Amino acid sequence: MSLTGSDPTHGEVVVTALGETCFYCDQPTSDPAITWHGATGAIWFHPACAVELCIRLNRDVLEWECRANARLVPKPTPINNRRTP
């Protein structure tokens, strides 16, 4: 994942989303934006669209786990269960 926009330490644009299209809403992107690079290229998101996609992905995983009565990932160990010396 990369964030787009200017580099505040050098005052120059490192990666820009200008001219790209949001993978989620299919609208033009501008900076700041989020981009993910994969095996077949990059996908671009408005920050709010990235949040919406993550919410829906998490919901889909939960729905699958409920229907399958299984977990995709092991349940994490809560930090408060650790014993202190």
Q: Which domain holds residue 39?
A: 2-76
In a domain, 84, yes or no: no
Cβ within 8 Å of residue 48, ≥6 positions away: none
In a domain, 82, yes or no: no
Task: Give the C-alpha separation, 34 to 2, whole Å.
Answer: 6
State residue 78's pLDDT score.
64
User: Would you give the DSSP letter of residue 79?
Assistant: G
Total domains in the fold of the chain: 1
Can you say how many angstroms the Cα of residue 83 is from the centroid of all Cα atoms in its chain? 34
The 3-state DSSP class for residue 47 equals: helix
In a domain, 85, yes or no: no
Rounded CA Rg of the chain: 18
In a domain, 81, yes or no: no
State residue 54's pLDDT score.
94
Structure token pair of residue 22: 């949001």
Give the pLDDT of the chain (85 residues) as one tens digit per residue. 677 776 666 656 578 899 999 999 999 999 999 998 888 889 999 999 999 999 999 999 899 989 988 887 766 666 655 555 5
